[in-house]
Amino acid sequence: MPQLPTALANREVNAIAPQPQVDMILGEVHAVCGVSFTVRQHETLGLVGESGCGKTTTARVVLGLRPASSGSVLFNTAGLAGTGALDSALDLLKDLQEELGLSYLFVSHDLSVVRHVAHRVAVMYLGRIVEIGPAEQIYERPAHPYTQALITAIPIPDPDKERYRRRVLLTGDVPSAVTPPSGCRFRTRCPNFASELTDDQRRLCAEEAPQLVRRGTAAPVACHYAEERRLLTGIPPT
């Protein structure tokens, strides 16, 4: 896809989610932490992740329904549309995008739907973007273990391919955004951290938050030990 003018730019946006009143203040929920992305004209950016990852808060900040505690949201008002859609409206959204040059921020937990509408995909976990890139790259060769787990959870309609597909399994629940894990926020659920890394490598994960940069990968990824893996082929082992 050729480089197009930017319709929306999020720059290091942070947002604190409001909490219901309780007798004791437990702490602030940092629902969005340093989130940066752009949406180009004529483009759809899919924003995906589990419930509680910060997708909805990000969308609300973009739409002006919730203030950002820091950072900025910049618009080129020619061609910015809204967020989300019903499955029955996907074709209409595509037609309108082609006809009017619209841009979409498409927020969903359904990765199979996002795959059919998004040009690029941003994957969120516990308030941070952990991987962002062209949809084909994210779905075919994801590099972050969280992205890999989400991708391998998408059903393959071919039973033979589904049978041989490698899965990346997560354990536990998303940690509290009030007291997120130190260092890499994903490490408490990361299968690599649990079984493949050395003690020194685990120490780095626990002490240093990985930045969203290219690490010999095609797309920026926030993982110290990111490795692209082809997961959706469903090719029988030899």
DSSP H stretches of helix in the chain: 55-62, 90-100, 111-117, 135-140, 145-152, 159-164, 191-195, 199-207
Dump pLDDT digits (tens) for 195-224.
899 999 999 999 999 999 999 999 999 999
Show the domains of the chain with their CATH numbers.
6-207 (3.40.50.300)
Instruction: Pull the structure tokens for residue 119.
Output: 């040009």
pTM reported for the whole predicted model: 0.80
Dump pLDDT digits (tens) for 132-184.
999 999 999 999 999 999 998 888 777 777 777 778 888 888 888 888 999 99
Binned at pLDDT 50, 70 and 90, residue 190 comes out as very high
Of 167 and 119, more confident: 119
pLDDT, position 51? 85
What is d(CA 221, CA 133) in angstroms, rounded to the nearest whole number? 9
Is 237 a residue whose pLDDT tops 60?
no
Q: In 3D, which of 191, 157, 180, 145 has the Cα closest to residue 17?
A: 180
Alpha-carbon distances, residue 177 vs 151, 183, 187 (angstroms): 24, 14, 14
Instruction: Pull the structure tokens for residue 152.
Output: 């391998």
Q: In 3D, which of 157, 145, 160, 170 has the Cα closest to residue 231?
A: 145
- The answer to whether 83 touches 144, Cβ cutoff 8 Å, is no
Q: Tell me the three state secondary structure of residue 9.
A: strand
Dump pLDDT digits (tens) for 176-187.
888 899 999 999
